[in-house]
Amino acid sequence: MHVSVSLLLFLFSWAWGIAASHEEMVGDFFKHGAPSGSTSNHTNNWAVLVCSSRYWFNYRHMANALGMYRTVKRLGIPDSNIILMLADDAACNARNKFPGSVYANPGRGLDLYGDNIEVDYRGYEVTVENLLRVLTGRMEPSVPRSKRLLTDAHSNIFVYMTGHGGNEFLKFQDNEEISAFDIADAFEQMWQKKRYNEIFFMIDTCQANTMYSKFYSPNILATGSSKIDQSSYSYENDADIGVSVIDRYTHYVLEYMERINKTSHHTMADLFASYDPVKIHSEPGVRTDLFSRPLNEVRITDFLGGVAHVEVGSGVVAAAARKTWTPEDPPSYSETPRVEQQPPRRENETRAQGMQAQIDGWRDARAWGGVLLLGALVGFVGWK
């Protein structure tokens, strides 16, 4: 009997070790992230756009990513600064009635695939490993320039992800998953190596807000399409294409972006105020606790645009040009200042963290239950 008892003890201690290290990690994630105060002093913008789905029925995810691609390009990020990861099996799919085109609206007004698309990671290259390598910069020396995120301490990065996901994970092409911890760790490594000035993280998937809940590095602004236990929904079908063509959240974000041009003064606060849970059918979230600037001073073009500073002439400093710009006519939809949505969001945030603790407790309990069940099984068969 002694042998089986010691075996059980071994199993218990093994499970305990795993549960303990898990708990420790979760604790660590909330310790870091005191934001260092800075105004936007970036000199270049980068975008990482990830569509993690493939196959025809996920047409809408490809359309999501291509819609974002079109928008950042239109707002002035050069192709050399955009990393587009796309399964890219929609445009030339045998089921596509409109070969070589991807549309994001039922009327098929705008061909997103167009004539000038540069997909950097295509098809089976869209993997968790490749995404993490792009972010952390850990590449083989042979990887070409176009597949690298060559950012520095003056870079603002826009990270957009879309696909099928769940609580704290995003599925990559039915093969593997990336977890919220993986992205959080990658961002921390980028911060340590000074690979960014600020990051704007946007994700459209089910339970999307859980994906940014694990971030702990400073200067990250994050937003997602739906909170925990909520699905994100597609927007509309096109009868001729036969599948949904875009997701609701991305649709409304893109619709908002269409009103913006390269020199617009719209801020992140305006964008977040434009979220309408009734239209989106889920509750989009925003995480600002890691971000040091007030949202109503953060221009959307700080992340999705081109250059921020220019110096005219030789020696004559005109770097303050952005401050002396003449303001545009105020656009009609910004008549109602909706910035006061911020405080309730913070409440949500703390509530989410409380919930997180609850979830972790539940997980521990489940792990222990598993161990007990195993022990009971061994005991039962042994005595029989």
Identify the residue among 33, 111, 148, 236 touching other proteins (CB under 8 A): 148
382 sits near other proteins (criterion: CB under 8 A): yes
Smallest distance, other proteins to C-beta of residue 76, A? 6
369 sits near other proteins (criterion: CB under 8 A): no
- Compose the 34-53 pattern: x for residues touching other proteins by CB under 8 A, - for all others: -------x-xx---------
Question: Smaller CB distance to other proteins: residue 24 or 276?
Answer: 24
13 sits near other proteins (criterion: CB under 8 A): no
108 sits near other proteins (criterion: CB under 8 A): no
**What residues numbered 203-242 form the site for other proteins, per CB under 8 A?**
none
User: In degrees rounded to 5, what are phi and psi of residue 264?
Assistant: -65, 155
308 sits near other proteins (criterion: CB under 8 A): yes
345 sits near other proteins (criterion: CB under 8 A): no
3 sits near other proteins (criterion: CB under 8 A): yes
User: In degrees rounded to 5, what are phi and psi of residue 122?
Assistant: -120, 150
Distance CA 269, CA 354 (A): 26
138 sits near other proteins (criterion: CB under 8 A): yes
Question: Cβ atoms within 10 A of the Cβ of 361, count?
Answer: 11
**Cα separations (Å) of 77 from 33, 118, 204?**
28, 13, 21
Identify the residue among 37, 107, 109, 313 touching other proteins (CB under 8 A): 313
Q: To 10 degrees, what angle do helices 180-192 and 128-136 make?
A: 20
**What residues numbered 153-192 form the site for other proteins, per CB under 8 A?**
153-154, 176, 178-179, 181-182, 185, 188-189, 192
Question: Smaller CB distance to other proteins: residue 81 or 223?
Answer: 81
370 sits near other proteins (criterion: CB under 8 A): yes
Question: Smaller CB distance to other proteins: residue 6 or 237?
Answer: 6
Distance CA 160, CA 203 (A): 6
Query: 41: helix, coil or strand?
Result: coil
Copy the structure tokens of residue 201.
Answer: 């993280």
Question: Smaller CB distance to other proteins: residue 224 or 305?
Answer: 305
Binding footprint of other proteins, residue count (CB under 8 A): 82
Q: What are the helix (H) ranges across 116-263?
A: 128-136, 180-192, 248-257
Residue 340 contacts residue 347 (beta carbons within 8 Å): no
Tell me the CB-side half-sphere exposure of residue 227, using CA atoms within 13 A. Answer: 14
Report which residue type is found at 244. S
Question: Smaller CB distance to other proteins: residue 173 or 288?
Answer: 173
- Cα 3 to chain centroid, rounded: 50
DSSP 119-135: -SEEGGG--HHHHHHHH
- Compose the 75-94 pattern: x for residues touching other proteins by CB under 8 A, - for all others: -xxxxxx-------------
Residues that are catalytic:
164, 206
